[in-house]
Chain A
Amino acid sequence: MDEKKRARFVDILLILLIVLPLAGAVVLKTVTAPVTPMEKGVQIGGAQVYFTIPLPIQELPISAAQINSWAVMLSILGICLYLTHGIKVIPDSKRQLAAEWIVDTVNKLVRSNMGEKFMGFAPFVAGILALSALSSLSSLLGLFAPTSDLNIVLGWALLVFILITHYKLKGGLWAYIKGFFSPIPVFAPLNIIGEVATPISMSFRHYGNVMSGMVISTLIAYALRSLSLTVLGWLPGVLGQIPFLQIGLPAVLSLYFDIFSGCMQAFIFAMLTMMFISTASPEDA
């Protein structure tokens, strides 16, 4: 009985670890958000900078995107610990089945796209998938989605680029350099541009999708609010100030822009990661 009680206590702690970082990020945003009056028009900017750390060369701004992505990382850690807490050889709980399903799915994905040789990449791919998908989904809580900041996504893309280069160099430095001069030496500038374009296009694809979704939803919400104030402004008192037309349509748009687009881009980012790494690796290494 005591054992059971302790397991339950740890469970509650882990659930708190899932919820608290996100709740903290929401509270931090609510407390520090600048109040923009309606008359100033629609305001679309980058992530809000919470504070800056003075460093010798340059100040290091800590923005909402960074704080939110750390919160999402802590949450993912909590989810992993919660799902794998108290696992047994013969599964008897739903969450162990869920955890096994997740691991199984990612393993299958990696095996079918990269082959048996790269099975060590399964945790990395799962990490990228979870981080990217949950980062985009965190905008459902009203947070600034970390993926709508280029810096965050460019960081992931650079990581992937380093991995690609690492696997290309496995075939030998000479083969790597020679790869730039194929099929004929005239193509060298094009090849180098193509090499550099990989992380740029990966990060711009993800960031552009999420950010454009955010901008379009903001614009539509603002337009509906103005329309509502114009059309229904004659209602007496407070009733005239409530934007009734804002009910409904933004939710439907959020279904596409936040949920579908976010998950889709996470999947594509993971997919491209797998493709690039497996094709960069030399055949006989």
Chain B
Amino acid sequence: MLELAIGIILGCCAIGAGIALIAGIGPGIGEGQAVAKACEAVGRQPESKSAVTSTLILGCALAETTGLYGLIIGILLIFVAPGSFVGILMANLPK
């Protein structure tokens, strides 16, 4: 029974981490669009390449944030959550 409980905890943590990383879709699309527009801008005005590039990198790093939230949750679910959940389970075992 205990093995089953621990197995459910580990499995659900892994599934949750996978679901959390769906957050990566948003920044992917967003940064892709930003890069596409930046390419257009450089094609139209090649002399403004350095300004466009620095703005693009800043914007991409900002847009990455939402993806990073998902990544943090995923990493926590894989490396931290199973240990603490199993700890809670062990502490509450009926004597």
User: Could you tell me which A residues sit within 8 Å of B by CB distance?
Assistant: 44-45, 201, 204-205, 207-209, 211-212, 215, 264-265, 267-268, 271
Is the Cβ of A204 less than 8 Å from the Cβ of B68?
yes
**How would you classify the secondary structure of chain B's contact residues: helix, strand, loop or mixed?**
helix
* Among B57, B58, B65, B75, contact of A205 (Cβ-Cβ < 8 Å): B65
Residues of A near B65 (CB, < 8 A) are: 201, 204-205, 208
Residues of B near A209 (CB, < 8 A) are: 61, 64, 68
Q: In the complex, A26→B31 CA distance in Å?
A: 38
Is the Cβ of B61 less than 8 Å from the Cβ of A265?
yes
User: Does B71 have its Cβ within 8 Å of any Cβ on chain A?
Assistant: yes
Residue of A nearest to B73 (CB): A208
Is the Cβ of B75 less than 8 Å from the Cβ of A211?
yes
Residues of A near B72 (CB, < 8 A) are: 204, 207-208, 211-212
Contact code string B60-78 (vs A, CB < 8 Å = 1, else 0) = 0110110011011001000
Given that A44-B79, A215-B75 are contacting pairs, would A208 and B58 also be in contact in the complex, using a CB cutoff of 8 Å? Answer: no
Nearest CB in chain A: distance from B45 CB, A? 20
* Among A201, A212, A264, A265, contact of B71 (Cβ-Cβ < 8 Å): A212
Nearest CB in chain B: distance from A135 CB, A? 17
Nearest CB in chain B: distance from A182 CB, A? 25
Q: In the complex, A271→B79 CA distance in Å?
A: 32
Is the Cβ of A208 less than 8 Å from the Cβ of B61?
no
Residue of B nearest to A45 (CB): B79
Residues of B near A207 (CB, < 8 A) are: 72
Residues of B near A271 (CB, < 8 A) are: 58
Residue of A nearest to B83 (CB): A45
Residues of B near A264 (CB, < 8 A) are: 57, 61
Q: List 14 A-B contacts (CB under 8 A).
A: A44-B79, A204-B65, A205-B61, A205-B62, A205-B65, A208-B65, A208-B68, A209-B61, A209-B68, A211-B72, A212-B71, A215-B79, A268-B58, A268-B61
